[in-house]
């Protein structure tokens, strides 16, 4: 999505809070080897769950009962990037791991967008798309995220 540059920080805060409501936490260690300068983006990475919990839930069928039980939750990695394009900030919220929790995360991000719009922020752009449809040069693209060590 695109927001005016003057409200970029407010938009980022809204999306960070949305991701936290979806039980994600900042994961700077996942971004440690990434080079956002190569893509002209700023980068923050969020995660929840673990591979062990994912295996346990999927292997036992518990994923049908719940997608989150504290730190034992379905795994997700979300990349939040911004990039200046003309007078706008392009903001990408992209799930690069964890399709099982996509509806929960999308619901929270949608609520953040609705809140921004209600406060008079103009939110524009292509809207929702699959992560693989994010521009390949963006760290929000799953392949690029893997190449930069974000997906592990």
Taking only the tens place, the pLDDT of each residue in 133-151 is 999 999 999 999 999 999 8
Distance CA 62, CA 72 (A): 11
Q: Considering its fold, how many domains does the chain have in total? A: 1
Does 36 score more than 50 pLDDT?
yes
Is 141 part of any domain?
yes
DSSP label of 99: G
Let me know how many helices (H) and strands (E) the chain has, helices first.
Answer: 5, 7
Give the residue with greater pLDDT, 100 vs 95.
Answer: 95
Is 41 part of any domain?
yes
Is 133 part of any domain?
yes
Asked if 3 and 121 count as a contact pair (C-beta separation under 8 A), the reply is yes
- Domain of 82? 2-147
Report pTM: 0.82
Is 152 part of any domain?
no
pLDDT value of residue 85 = 86
Distance CA 43, CA 45 (A): 7
Distance CA 80, CA 41 (A): 10
pLDDT value of residue 71 = 44
């Amino acid at each position: 999505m695109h927001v005016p540059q003057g409200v970029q920080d407010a938009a980022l805060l809204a999306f960070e809070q949305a991701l936290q409501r979806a039980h994600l936490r900042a994961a700077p260690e996942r971004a440690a080897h990434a080079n956002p300068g190569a893509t002209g983006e700023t980068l923050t990475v969020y995660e929840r769950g673990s591979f062990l919990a994912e295996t346990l839930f999927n292997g036992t069928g518990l994923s049908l009962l719940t997608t989150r039980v504290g730190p034992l939750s379905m795994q997700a990695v979300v990349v939040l990037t911004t990039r200046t394009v003309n007078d706008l900030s392009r903001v990408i919220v992209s799930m690069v791991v964890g399709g099982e929790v996509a509806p929960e995360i999308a619901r929270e991000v949608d609520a953040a967008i609705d809140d921004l719009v209600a406060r008079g922020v103009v939110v524009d752009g292509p809207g929702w798309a699959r992560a693989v449809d994010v521009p390949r040069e963006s760290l929000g693209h799953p392949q690029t995220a893997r190449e930069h060590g974000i997906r592990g």
